[in-house]
A and B are shown apart, each in its own frame.
Chain A
Amino acid sequence: MSILTSTHPTSSSRSGISLLKLAALGVAILLAIPVFIIVVNIFLGGSDVWQHLYDTLLFDYVSNSLLLMVGVTLGTLVMGVPAAWLTSACDFPGRSVFSWALLLPLAMPAYIIAYTYTGLFDFAGPVQTFIRDVTGLGYGEYWFFEMRSLGGAFVMLALVLYPYVYLMSRAAFLEQSANTLEVCRTLGYSAPQAFFRLALPMARPAIVAGVTLAMMETLADYGTVQYFGVTTFTTGIMRTFYGFGDLAAASQLAGILLLFVAVLIFAERYSRRKIQYHASGLRKASQRKIQLKGVSAVLAFLACLLPIVGGFVLPAAVLLYWAVFEAQSVGWDFVSLSWNSFYLAALAALITVALALVLAYAARLHKQKSVQTAVVTAGLGYALPGTIIAIGVIVPLAWLDHRIIDGVQHLTGDRVGLVLSGTIVALLFAYTVRFMAVSLGSIQSGLGKVKPSMDMAGRSLGCTPAQVLRRIHVPLLRSSVLTALLIVFVDVLKELPATLILRPFNFNTLAVRAFELASDERLVDAAPASLMIVAVGLIPVILLSRSISSANH
């Protein structure tokens, strides 16, 4: 229990090498390996497959990914910003319910909403069947929106990603000081003018940050675009990896995708920095809300209702209907899928949170640059698409496996199978890289509440460092550790692309099975697994909603 012996940030260095510091640096280096591998690959020479990609498909990947990002940006802005402003600055019937219900689509993975809508709106679906029955028109005689297209993909993605924009911009609107807005009114602007001239520009950095998060998720998406037949970087990486079996070309594609992500990370960091300047003032605008009546109240009601219905209520209802009335009854297969998903998610959550605790304590006790950099590095994986991480994990593990196989053969003459790359070790490694930032964030904010002076107060009241840990840290950290465990658990349960690439042979999870069934056009049969994912995914959303509504009062 030496981790509390030094309560002053810098005094620890006197004891020379600290075990905790070494552990933190080790964890950070390990978690940085996949990213490092991809970055190195950007600069390596290309293979034949790479040349082929470059000549034929690369332009498609780039243009589709860019178009998708533009579409998702527009969609999330249209749905997220008005809802955020209405629920924070105005009052109308249903406002308090909307303010948390607008987060519900966060529980809905994009690939699940994609095939739900496809089932609902494609040619054989109930909507088009109904149109044909009513009008008597046949195939090709009427126009209907083609769900499985680039346009469909960005509608789907925008429907589940707008909560990022909503959350960030709502926080910004709530932060805006009532005084500034009132000054604007006294200078002769009406309330709507004040919104466009002041509230919106002041919230801009937050809105940009929300949009960049949505764009990162868009770049990371694999399930939706694959299902809709839109070729993007992620589908390209999968194709290169599975179709051509060319790891080098796949990692080069991943490298280019990484450049896109790097630009987004930079944009997000930059706008976050500006948020600090723009939010000021002690009095909050939310103290006096604009009362909406009549038509404007109805419009506001609809502006908040439609995203929720489109992003959550409708697809969830369809899934529920399919799962209950139409899907094959669930059997042992489903139980074993759930078990796989749950233990994998639980293991990943435990590992990630344990390592996050090491990193968070190291960052608390060692203020040196090396440790701080290490902790930041360890959190980088969250910005990276699962496909990139999967490729970055499989390259070093496959290399290591071959060394092990050769080594064992050399020593004993036996041939062993893949020890790391073909097992859940690879999956757990990838999940830890991908989700370290979420658990680290939760634990660091929890640890931030345990002020250093509380450690000292405990010591001066006669507690040993171990007693301080047990009597002060453990009770105060409990809820953030649980939150971190829960969030990682749910994220792992939803994760698709990395799981698809790295899962051991014949090992299926709920997400993989739902995706495979949907890809085989067995949409209805995919419903039970999807519903399970959505239901579990609701738990952290509810927690988030509760913290929002409690902050309201």
Chain B
Amino acid sequence: MTAMPPNKMLKELKLENAAVGYQGEPVVKDANFRIVEGQIGCLLGPSGCGKSTLLRAIAGFEPLMAGSICLDNEVLSSPDELVSPEKRSIGMVFQDIALFPHLTIGANIAFGLKGWSKADTEARIDYLLDLVGLSGYKERYPHSLSGGQQQRVALARAIAPKPKLLLMDEPFSGLDAKLREELVPDIRAILLHEKVSAILVTHDQAEAFAMADQVAIMESGQILQVGTPYEIYHEPVSRFVAMFIGQGDFLPAVVCGSNCVHSDLGEIQGELDHGFASGEKVDLLVRPDDILHDDDSEFKGLIVSKWFRGSYFLYRVKLSSGKVIYCFASSHHNHSIGQEIGLSVHLDHLVMFPTEAKAA
């Protein structure tokens, strides 16, 4: 075991103003992003936003048109520099899994272990198979494994050579929902256990929130916001981020103080200054969990539709102004459609954007 190469831990991966494109047309522009030792990052965005392209650029499969990608202060990619993928010490897990069908599971995992002694190789395979819960599958072939098992092998194969960084391109999208829910925390646990820094690409926010320490929201080739899942959810910097992450509605409101607005739900006080001038018209972001069912409240809403989610009810309620918003209620508060219920507001920090000029 002593002859095994030591873990080459990542200190920092940094993208600075990176632009990637095909045939002179940039697909991704001005991408700035960094993750440090042991962190799991995530590029989250709708399909076609350029997140996979950016990931491929980090892996070295796409050249940069501008900016740079640095790993531990060494330039990997820039317009004049392109370290080839095999020299980057960056592992990758693919959407379509891409196990080599002509090799056994053991040989797939050993594929990247070049220059390792036989004993070390065997030990590494056994260790990884044990880690991903597939001991005993060493001599099997990929086609005899289920999708979830194949994905575990793909992970084991990618981290076998102890890469500094692991990239995962929509690794769970081919799996069914139940399997995904099992696999996501498992894989996060494995990565943390192995102290592998990783970047995940996904369009599924639940996946992103479950896996990542740092999330970058992408749209139309731009990174709109980088932050922890909590920040992204509660402090979105733009309407797009607000609506892409989680459910919610915009409620028209008028600023009535440095930390206060007036809306259909009365005067709402935030904890922090929001920076808008008094009298300015804004749209206030209201998440389902911001509005709770409260029979004593003076504000009423008419239930237009409802979903029973087991541990809670989610109602769509219509305010007197005609605006429809979400409302949370405990699973015991079963009201029927058409009933009027009381609503109380639980907004700590106000997220709002200037009212958009209505199209004529």
One of A67-75, A148-156, A300-308, A460-468 contacting the partner: A460-468
> Which single member of B96, B111, B161 contacts A453 (CB below 8 Å)?
B96
CB of B61 within 8 A of CB of A449, answer no
The B interface, classified by DSSP as helix, strand, loop or mixed, is loop
Complex Cα distance, B63 from A431, in Å, reads: 42
Q: Contacts A11-B62, A456-B59, A472-B100 hold; do A464 and B86 have CB atoms under 8 A apart?
A: yes
In angstroms, how far is the closest chain A Cβ from the Cβ of B57?
A: 10
| Contact between chains at B111 and A458 (CB < 8 Å) | yes
Q: Give CA–CA (A461, B96) in the complex, Å.
A: 16
Instruction: State the Cβ distance, B65 to closest chain A Cβ, in Å.
Output: 10
Closest Cβ of chain B to A464, distance in Å, is 6
Partner of B161, one of A7, A459, A461, A471: A461
Q: A23 near B: Cβ within 8 Å? A: no
Which residues from A are CB-within-8-Å of B22?
Answer: 8, 10-11
**Cα separation A472 to B107 with both chains bound (whole Å):** 12
B114 CB within 8 Å of chain A: yes
B-side contacts of A471, CB under 8 Å: 111
- Chain A nearest CB: distance from B101 CB in Å? 7
* Contact digits for B56-92, partner A, Cβ 8 Å, 1 yes 0 no: 1001111100000000000000000000111110111
B89-132 contact mask (Cβ, 8 Å, vs A): 1 or 0: 01110111110111000000001101000000000000000000
- Which residues from chain B contact A463 at a C-beta distance below 8 Å? 86, 112
Q: Does A294 lie at the interface of the complex (its beta carbon under 8 Å from any beta carbon of B)?
A: no
In this assembly, does A140 line the interface, its C-beta being within 8 Å of a C-beta of chain B?
Answer: no
Alpha-carbon distance A47/B277, docked complex (angstroms): 93
A476 at the interface (CB under 8 A from B): yes
A456 in contact with B111 (CB, 8 Å): no
CB distance from A493 to the nearest CB of B (A): 31
CA distance A456 to B63 in the complex (A): 14
Residue interface bits A421-453, CB-to-B below 8 A is 1, else 0: 000000000000000000000000000010101
A8 touching B61, Cβ below 8 Å: yes
Decide if A475 is an interface residue (CB 8 Å cutoff).
Answer: yes
A13: CB under 8 A from chain B? yes
What chain A residues lie within 8 Å of B161 (beta carbons)?
461-462
A544: interface (CB < 8 Å):
no
A8→B158 contact, CB < 8 A = no
User: Does B23 sit at the interface, judged by CB under 8 A?
Assistant: yes
Q: Across the interface, do A456 and B86 meet the contact criterion of CB distance under 8 Å?
A: no
> Nearest chain B CB to A237's CB is how many angstroms away?
47
Alpha-carbon gap, A141 to B96, bound state (A): 74
In the docked arrangement, what's the CA distance between A463 and B63, Å?
18
Which of B100, B154, B163 counts the most chain A CB atoms within 10 A? B100
A14-B63, A456-B61, A456-B92 known; A461+B158 contact, CB < 8 A: yes
Are the CB atoms of B112 and A454 closer together than 8 Å?
Answer: no
CA of A460 to CA of B102, assembled, Å: 18
Q: Is the CB of A10 within 8 A of B23?
A: yes
Residues of B in contact, count (CB < 8 Å):
34
- B293 contacts A by Cβ under 8 Å: no
- CB-nearest residue of chain B relative to A474? B102
Residues of A within 8 A of B96 (CB): 451, 453
Specify which chain A residues have a CB less than 8 angstroms from the CB of B87 in the assembled complex: 462
B residues near A290, Cβ cutoff 8 Å: none
Q: Are B59 and A461 in contact (CB under 8 A)?
A: no
A124 close to chain B: CB less than 8 A: no
The dominant DSSP class at the A interface is helix
In the docked arrangement, what's the CA distance between A477 and B176, Å?
31
Looking at the assembled complex, report how far the CB atom of B259 sits from the nearest CB atom of chain A, in whole angstroms: 50
B29 contacts the other chain (CB 8 A): no
B157 on interface, CB distance cutoff 8 Å = yes
A residues 469-505 with Cβ under 8 Å of B? 471-472, 475-476
Chain B positions within 8 Å of A13 at CB level: 23
Cα distance A471–B86 when bound, in Å?
14
Contact B62 A8 (CB under 8 A): yes
- Bound complex: CA of A476 vs CA of B154, how far in Å? 18
Q: If the complex has contacts A460-B158, A462-B86, are A454 and B100 also in contact, measured as CB distance less than 8 A?
A: yes
- In the complex, the answer to whether A456 meets B157 with C-beta atoms within 8 Å is no
B148 to chain A, nearest CB (A): 18
Q: What are the interface flags for B22-62 relative to A under an 8 Å C-beta threshold, 1 for contact and 0 otherwise?
A: 11000000000000000000000000000000001001111
Q: Give min CB distance, B204 to chain A, whole Å.
A: 19
Query: What's the Cα separation between A475 and B60 when bound, in Å?
Result: 25
State A475–B114 Cα separation when bound (angstroms).
Answer: 19
- Determine how close the nearest CB of chain B comes to the CB of A369; give it in whole angstroms: 13
A457 at the interface (CB under 8 A from B): yes
Chain B residues near A454 (CB-CB < 8 A): 98, 100
Shortest CB-to-CB span from B139 to chain A, Å, is 17
Are A456 and B23 in contact (CB-based, < 8 A)? no
A10: chain B residues within 8 A (beta carbon): 22-23
Central interface residue in B62, B102, B163, by most chain A CB within 10 Å: B102
Bound: A469/B9 CA distance, A: 30
Residues in B whose Cβ lies below 8 Å from that of A8: 22, 56, 61-62
Residue of B whose beta carbon sits closest to that of A6: B61
> Taking each of B56, B101, B161, B167, which has the highest tally of chain A beta carbons within 10 Å of its own beta carbon?
B101
Distance between Cα atoms of A10 and B24 in the complex (Å): 11
A241 to B5, CA, bound (A): 74
Q: Mark B156-199, 1 if CB is under 8 A from A, else 0.
A: 01101101000100000000000000000000000000000000
Given A14-B63, A463-B86, A471-B111, is A453 in contact with B94 using a C-beta cutoff of 8 Å? yes
Contacts of A460 in B (CB 8 A): 59, 85-86, 88, 90-92, 112, 158, 163, 167
- Distance of A172 Cα from B152 Cα, bound (Å): 37
| A10 CB to nearest chain B CB (Å) | 5
Q: How far apart sit A464 and B63, CA to CA, in the bound complex (Å)? A: 17
Q: Is the CB–CB distance between A476 and B101 below 8 Å?
A: yes
Known A8-B62, A476-B101; judge A453-B95 contact (CB<8 A): yes
Q: How far is the CA of A7 from the CA of B60 in the complex (A)?
A: 10
Question: What residue of chain B has the Cβ atom nearest to residue A14's Cβ?
Answer: B63
Contact of A457 with B23 at beta-carbon distance under 8 Å, contacts A8-B61, A449-B101, A464-B86 already known: no
Residues of the B chain whose Cβ atoms lie less than 8 Å from the Cβ of A461: 86, 91, 111-112, 157-158, 160-161
Bound together, the chains give a CA A453 to CA B95 distance in angstroms of: 8
Nearest B residue (CB) for A454: B98
CA distance A471 to B100 in the complex (A): 10
Which of B63, B84, B94 contacts A457, CB < 8 Å? B94
Q: CB-nearest residue of chain A relative to B24? A: A14
Establish whether residues B62 and A457, one from each chain, have CB atoms under 8 Å apart when the complex forms.
no
Please measure, in the bound complex, the distance between the C-alpha atom of A234 and the C-alpha atom of B88, giving whole angstroms.
62
Q: Give bound CA distance, A7 to B22, whole Å.
A: 13
Closest chain A CB from B249 CB (angstroms) = 39
- Given A10-B22, A461-B157, A456–B114 Cβ distance below 8 Å? no
- Contact pick for A476, options B59, B84, B102, CB 8 Å: B102
**Could you tell me if A11 and B63 are in contact, using CB atoms closer than 8 angstroms?**
yes
Question: Could you say which residues of chain A place their CB within 8 Å of the CB of B167?
Answer: 460
Closest to A478 in B: B102
Q: What is the bound-complex CA distance between A475 and B158, given in angstroms? A: 21
A467's nearest neighbour on chain B, judged by CB, is B86
Contact of A456 among B94, B100, B112 (CB under 8 A): B94
The chain A residue sitting closest to B60, CB to CB, is: A459
A469 to chain B, nearest CB (A): 13
Annotate B296-326 by CB proximity to A: 1 below 8 A, 0 otherwise.
0000000000000000000000000000000
Other A-B contacts than A453-B98, A457-B94, A462-B114, 7 sampled, CB-CB below 8 A, are A13-B23, A456-B98, A458-B111, A459-B85, A460-B85, A460-B158, A464-B84
Chain B contact residues, CB within 8 Å of chain A = 22-23, 56, 59-63, 84-88, 90-92, 94-98, 100-102, 111-112, 114, 154, 157-158, 160-161, 163, 167
What are 18 inter-chain pairs, A to B, with CB distance below 8 A? A7-B61, A8-B22, A10-B22, A11-B22, A13-B23, A14-B63, A449-B101, A451-B96, A453-B95, A456-B59, A457-B98, A457-B158, A458-B111, A459-B59, A460-B90, A462-B112, A463-B86, A476-B102
3 A-B pairs with the lowest CB-CB distances in the bound complex, closest first: A461-B112, A453-B98, A459-B85
